[in-house]
Structure 1
């Protein structure tokens, strides 16, 4: 199972944010985001020509160590930047801690980094958010979607695909946290169903999981006896 996530990372320590603030368009795209290499400091950025950004202006930013113009692509100016990352960013996004693939160019804005990444599991994404929290880096989840419930997982616990989807979404959005971080109504909107239907899906799925777990334990007790 894999999950596709879209989220906003916010921190004063993030590179290129001040650059985005200085541009009329208030944004710049980067094809090399964070979580790539532990010492990755090279970013390839795309800048709208209307922003009228010069090589000298790029070099003037304290975090930019080197600038290499790469010409134009897709009607935009392309630069390769060597950037000095703050320690908090290097540590928080150490790539060996996460399994994630970049799906679209990162969009850097004054609010932070908009990322779209593919993770191997919900736990892998949760690992990223927990790690960022340790460094006071905010991660705002915009959307999260499962690539498709695993039929093996569903069959193993006796869940229908729809029940599996509902439980997976609820878990990822913090429904089972204390206090709850999302309501069944909000979950229902994401699944495009009614709130009663969502509640029913979760309730039936929970009952099925408990039944499966208790039956398995009873079977093990029988074998051990």
Structure 2
């Protein structure tokens, strides 16, 4: 079973290092690339006011958030929901930076120690659509994802939209996934023919220098978002250490 969590936050401002805090968390669950209906949505008392710019984005006032739980009260609930899953985030460095700061304030280890990995859909989109706008709204328009209900940013709605965007961004991978769904389906209609590929000599297409450079750039962005915890960097450093 492949379990993924699409994750989004709203915050009091743009800088966790300068004291901005999380005010809302939205998570939706995908299992084998399908929405399960299981989700987590929390408003959080940040113990400070939101900047004017942030307030215009999410509309969550200090008065509304005053009686909501503080992050320390819901940290276990958040981490339990995400435990061991692959996390999908748009602009991962931003959200991971904020949740890492919240965990640091509680004396806890970084977010990446609780999850199996992080996928940054912004990095994916930049590679697929270089030179184009790749905000969540822009991707919804480009990929025919209905975002007509999005007037203010909300963490749960944005996570739901991002789940659709991610599935559309990676739809081409479906053809590479071999499952038993077709064999188990009782739906009438023509079935795809089975072809024995052992009789074919398939060409090997090597990545060119530009493609290799783009690949390295994506790896570097993922590594940065994970705080240098990616497995390939671990093995690279170990190989260099071997005389």
Tell whether the structures are fold-level matches, with TM greater than 0.5: no
Quick one: higher RCO (CA 8 Å, sep 6+), 1 or 2? Answer: 1
> Which structure: larger Rg?
1
Instruction: Give the helix-richer structure, 1 or 2.
Output: 2
TM range (shorter): under 0.3
Under a length normalisation based on structure 2, what TM-score does the superposition of the two structures give?
Answer: 0.22
